[in-house]
Amino acid sequence: MQVEPAIRLEVHKQDFITELRRAWRVLGRRRPTQAVVGFSDGQLWLRCGGARFEVGAQGHWPGEARVASAVLYAISRVPPPASSLTLSLKDDKLQIGSSVATCYWQAVGSAVIDLALDLDLVELLRLGEQHDDAALEQSGILPEVQAARIRMSRKIATASRALVALGIDDAKLHQWVREQLGLEQLVSARLIKPSLNARR
């Protein structure tokens, strides 16, 4: 019986840390809560919030690991002492040097949404209607979309309190805002597309 090789990558520590720090500089304060780590053509790549960073690596990494970006941020702030760095996966645990974190392992290409950098509130809301939650989660952007939905609801609740005397309640205002942002049209387009594909 053939034994599957261990899921493991070797990378030069300083190159990896340099790319991590560059990622945080590019993303700034709007760093997403999740990052996706993959490997192709001899390059370990990190995808986070629409940005992609690469560094040379060697090993076997047949999928993508979705992990909290805070873990990678901590490693970039306090790197391990060795000159080389090992990334390995066992069960649902991603180990980078001596740091271990829970991750979600997914097939190559699962992070299917092409994200722009520095998405604002409206862009996040629209993105959330263009894709289902499974695709958003696989691309590591679902927490940001969920936070955007909460922010919209809070803003609408604040506005509706000022308009209640005019007979405009929260539900009516919520529907109006969705129409003004074009969210309902995006939902319809997303639902229609699979049915059209099924007919072909």
pLDDT grade, residue 60 (50/70/90)? very high
Same domain, 133 and 96: no
**Model-wide pTM > 0.95:** no
Question: Which pLDDT tens digit goes with each residue over 117-139?
Answer: 456 788 888 888 888 888 787 77
Question: Which pLDDT tens digit goes with each residue over 72-94?
Answer: 889 998 888 888 899 999 888 99
Q: Is residue 93 part of a domain?
A: yes
Same domain, 195 and 170: yes
Q: Is residue 112 part of a domain?
A: no
Q: Considering its fold, how many domains does the chain have in total? A: 2
Q: Is residue 77 part of a domain?
A: yes
**Separation of alpha carbons 48 and 53, rounded Å:** 9
Report which listed range, 1-5, 32-36, 121-125, is most confident: 121-125
Evaluate whether 113 touches 104 at the Cβ level (below 8 Å). no
**Residue 141 pLDDT:** 74
> For the chain, what is the mean pLDDT?
81
Question: Which pLDDT tens digit goes with each residue over 167-196?
Answer: 888 888 888 888 888 887 776 666 655 444
Same domain, 102 and 44: yes
Same domain, 142 and 179: yes
121 dihedral zone (left: phi>0; alpha: psi -120 to 50; beta): alpha
Range of the domain at 95: 8-107
Residue at which a domain ends, from 75, 107, 139:
107
Please identify which residue in the block is written with the tokens 């929260």: 170
88 dihedral zone (left: phi>0; alpha: psi -120 to 50; beta): beta
Does 98 have pLDDT greater than 60? yes
**What's the CATH code of the domain at 28?**
3.10.150.10
